[in-house]
Amino acid sequence: MERSAVFGGLQPNYLLYPSRYSTSLPFSDHRTRLPNFSRPPSLSFKLQKQVSSCYSAVSPFKRGATFSETQSETCELADIDWDDLGFAYVPTDYMYSMKCTKGGNFSKGELQRFGNIELSPSAGVLNYGQGLFEGLKAYRKEDGNLLLFRPEENAMRMIMGAERMCMPSPTVEQFVDAVKATVLANKRWVPPPGKGSLYIRPLLMGSGAVLGLAPSPEYTFLIYVSPVGNYFKEGVAPIHLIVEYELHRATPGGTGGVKTIGNYAAVLKAQSAAKARGFSDVLYLDCVQKKYLEEVSSCNIFVVKGNTISTPAIKGTILPGITRKSIIDVARSQGFQVEERLVTVDELLDADEVFCTGTAVVVSPVGSITYKGKRRILESDLLSIR
């Protein structure tokens, strides 16, 4: 099926600044590169290509950028090995910080040199886990322009999470402007086209001192960035998942549907054990019936059967991924039937194709599923779009 995608409902992308940058590296965009297979590429690669084309449909900021940039300015890239980027922390130049008190509103923040922060041992985030984070990326185009993908969605998700965690949150405008300022201040760390992206990590935390169990009296909104390559060591090759049916990521009525810091510590035990056995990551089941798919440790999952793409519905235990939402929009525009519903392990094992989506992983095809000692091979890299 070959159709032109109609990206209805997608927020405009952000052109951070037009600039020339000093590099002789050739352009090879990892977000749109397709594998050189003799058969047609998989659905996951097709959808990744369609979503990545959203980055090209840029529109300038309606509000002025924090830093004035012109076409004639040159950006010297940081002196690191861009061909050896993994998904690991690399210190950069600047971070952004903004504070407010309980019951108040965030005031204008500021950029400061990247470095350690000072927290009371009694800070709410340290004692009671009162904290959220977000994740998004900036990319460098071939012409040097820097792009963001749907940052308002991250801002709105943080607002939703903050309400659940009894915290104030920056407004959408404050969030987006802070992201813009931080990226522009660290623009030399945005990888050349095809070499990776600049990962942006906004944090919202209870930074005030509190001893008894209660919301923190002060909150800090912080953004730092790091250049990154592929999240999985497999790169663009299919990943290998194991289904976890004893340990669980989230429970009904809990905080699985918001991006609170505690959700991720809960998966470390199962994930570490899986990686020690050679798996890429863990797929979790619901904690009640133990037969319905939830999500992978850090990404959403999709199951393809014929012309139908199914993904677990967002019902409080699954994070509403921004890449997930984009893939659903694009797939429907391509004529696929997309179902958000309960999806069983049996359906997973009978699928034509399986793939994961997320800011860090982008769109990753699944090559195998292991469940209760049995492994199902999925030739995701060879399946054709229907």
Q: Bridge-partner residues for 364, per DSSP?
A: 356
Which residues lie closer than 8 Å to 232 by C-beta, 6 or more apart? 239, 280, 281, 361, 364
Which residues lie closer than 8 Å to 272 by C-beta, 6 or more apart? none
Helix H or strand E encompassing 275: helix 268-276
Q: Where are the alpha helices (DSSP H) in 143-233?
A: 151-164, 172-185
Residue 253 region by backbone torsions, left for phi larger than 0, else alpha for psi between -120 and 50, else beta: left
d(C-alpha 179, C-alpha 61), whole Å: 13
| Contact between 95 and 89 (Cβ < 8 Å) | no
d(C-alpha 36, C-alpha 115), whole Å: 43
| Contact between 226 and 90 (Cβ < 8 Å) | yes
d(C-alpha 361, C-alpha 87), whole Å: 10
The neighbour count for residue 124, using CB atoms within 10 Å, is 28
Q: Each residue of 346-368: b (16+ CB within 10 Å) or e?
A: eebeebbbbbbbbbbbbbbbbbb
Q: Which tokens go with 216?
A: 């923190």
- Is 259 in the active site? yes
| Contact between 120 and 208 (Cβ < 8 Å) | yes
Q: Which tokens go with 306?
A: 């014929």
For 20, 76, 192, 194, the CA distances from 83, given in Å and listed in that order, are 20, 17, 10, 10
Catalytic residue among 108, 259, 269, 305: 259
Tell the residue number behind the tokens 């890299």, with chain if given: 381
| Contact between 183 and 225 (Cβ < 8 Å) | yes
Three-state DSSP state, 273 = helix
Q: Which residues are catalytic?
A: 259
